Chains A and B, each alone.
Chain A
Amino acid sequence: MSTCLEVRVSGVGFWAPRLPDWQTACAVLAGRAEPEAVARSRPAPALLAPTERRRAPDTVSIALEAASRACEAAGVDPVSLPSVFACTHGDGAINDYLCGTLASNPLLCSPTRFHNSVHNAAAGYWTIGTGCVKPSTALTAGSETFAAGLLEAIVQALADETPVLYVAYDAAMPGPVGEVSPSAGMIASALVVEPLKGDGPGVRPAGVGRCLRARVAPGAQAMPEASVSPGSIPHAWFAALPANSMRQCLPLLAFLASDAEGRMQMQLNQGCVLEVDIEEVTTHG
């Protein structure tokens, strides 16, 4: 078993069509509120110039929304944060468009959609929109994407002793490719993680200021999302979220939203898991 990696979660952001912010998600999880009855259309990222806002892919819109809210919750200036962007598939709508155009008339390929097709499009727009020159990365690990991105964010925070922004998101996979490699709707989540040391703020909103103790361990199985039990999660919480590839993030977020402590495992590769203990931060002095 490898090193224990300890970080504090100092901010959380979330966006899904019927749970359009972290407070709503927490309230629904606690049984204090119902999910919004009507699914919202994607958020318009205020960070982008108006023309870019309109043309931005769904993945970029939701990633920037969650990222902005997490930074606000953490009370940190985005300019100071290295960032890790994790997305299972990239932008399905752009890939559907590009592959369709290539099959019909490749010379009609749109230059804007092409440069928006890179997996690091959200990372690029985030750094441009915030003026952040810190390192930024974009990664995927299939059904292990959320865990792989979380590990990288925690590792960066500890290796370079800095708070790190972690954003995990997926949009829908439309068109023929979506029949083979499916994802529905949109989910974006974001965390600000920082090395667990120094004084924390005294009073924190739900899910903020909690500690993750993570380690990479041999292991065969991740727990299915429904078996994660930070207390009893209302069915409405899971049911309010689409069959999206980034449902991977839900078990950990359920822990953070519920204020529960406990242990969970997420698959990282065949025969290897990320084991995470979720605990309250105890601050001294």
Chain B
Amino acid sequence: MKPLAVTAYTTTTAVGQGNAALIGALMAERSGLRPNDFTQHPLETFIGRVADVEAVRLPSHLAPWDCRNNRLALLGLESDGFIAAVEAARRRYGADRIALVIGTSTSSIGATEEAYARLTPEGHFPDDLCRPEVHTPHSLGVFLARALDLRGPCVTVSTACSSSAKVFAQAERLLRLGIADAAIVGGVDTLCGSVLFGFNSLELVSKEPCRPFDPTRNGISLGEAAGFALLEREGVADSDAWLIGHGESSDAHHMSSPHPEGLGAELALRDALARAQRAPAAVDYINLHGTGSQKNDEVEGALIARVFPVSPATSATTHAAPAHAAPAHPAPAHAAPALAASSTKGFTGHTLGAAGIVEAVICLLAMKHGFRPGTLNARSIDPDCGPHVRLHGEHAPVRVAVNESFGFGGNNCVLVFADRAAP
């Protein structure tokens, strides 16, 4: 496909507001997870809670949309010059030529939960929550359209944990067909009772900080996040960050567990690489879905091991092979370092509908800073999860990065980013 320039991007997660906080935490191996202090009813788990969301105040014209999710959305917009970049795009293209494609799994359901917890004695919502604006999932899309004064197509994508990865694919199609000249993509999801107790009911929540790909991993840690990116066409924008491929698929297997052989995930991955016109060997870094659940990591590790070749450098760095077992054809000195893959959910928690954008931004930051993050909290990497998954981060050039997102309903999306448009 024709690459799209990513001309601005930002994300706010439990490790802090904006990209600098995120890359800083990734390099320092500092987690944003903390013991659950969010739910009124106790639940023993760790969460990736964004500080000071409660303190955000919406301007008066946005007051009907006030809720935790939209506050986090606003907090997320106010970093990395993102609003200024949108304003510049609005001047350049016109507000009706910018599409807004945004992902979320639970949107503002937290406000509906609160209303049920505070029903009047007659069983109605309390007055302050009698606002239809927050009791429907498109609350996020409308809020952002108003906050950014955008007048192009506006849609909220909600495919569970692949939501804010799929927005890149949907936006790319809109730009390819000339429906819009630029697109704001991204996603916002906030902690709420539904997801904490819902994932708990499925026995997928860990009591400890999640440790993806560890042989003793025992579940996920939930988190919240907001993230956004501005996409523009090649030729119009000069950039060192490009969306070069996307792939989507369905598992056709089960609502809440992945296909045992990663069938759908592999289709999405191969479609993304084909659109990107890149061979697996061209990929330098993969941000894995890596939730820390037993099944996801096993299936995903096997997929990566199957699709991506093991280069001599991979086996040398991962398994510290003894000298006499050195490969017969050592990699030449100028060869790019071997592929590294990691899950960053130990830093941020699993941010569900925002995971796609958070981890897309991590891929972009990996390219910008020449840094490949590690898999925080894991003490060792499960040998069943293949040779590419790395425990620790390392400084190394990243030219091509892949982001994997898989959601309930067997909904898969893989994105490919590169530091330049041409192969």
Contacts and interface: CB of A to CB of B under 8 A. Distances in A.
B252 A268 contact: no
A109 B201 contact: yes
B216 interface: no
Contacts of A128: 251-255, 410
B4 to A, nearest CB: 13
Contacts of B158: 90, 118-120, 138-140
A117 interface: yes
29 contacts: A5-B179, A102-B193, A106-B197, A109-B198, A114-B194, A115-B408, A120-B407, A120-B408, A121-B409, A135-B248, A136-B159, A137-B157, A137-B411, A138-B158, A138-B159, A138-B409, A140-B141, A140-B155, A141-B155, A141-B156, A148-B153, A151-B179, A180-B129, A180-B132, A216-B152, A216-B180, A218-B151, A268-B152, A269-B150
B145 interface: yes
Given A128-B254, A138-B157, A269-B152, A106 B174 contact: no
Residue in B117, B142, B180, B201 with the greatest tally of chain A CB atoms within 10 Å: B201
Interface of B: 39, 41, 43, 95-97, 100, 105, 109, 112-113, 115-117, 119, 123-125, 129-132, 135-138, 141-142, 145-146, 150-160, 166, 169-170, 173-174, 176-180, 193-194, 196-203, 248-256, 263-264, 267, 407-411
B266 to A, nearest CB: 10
A68 interface: no
Among A95, A109, A120, max chain B CB count under 10 A is at A120
B170 A141 contact: no
A272 B152 contact: yes
Given A99-B112, A109-B200, A119 B137 contact: yes
Nearest to A160: B173
Contacts of B109: 95, 99
A125 interface: yes
Contact of A181 (B135, B203, B263): B135
Interface in A83-117: 88-90, 95, 98-100, 102-103, 105-107, 109-111, 114-117
A268 B100 CA distance: 11
Contacts of B135: 177, 180-181
Contacts of A135: 169, 248-250
A142 B141 contact: yes
Nearest to B176: A159
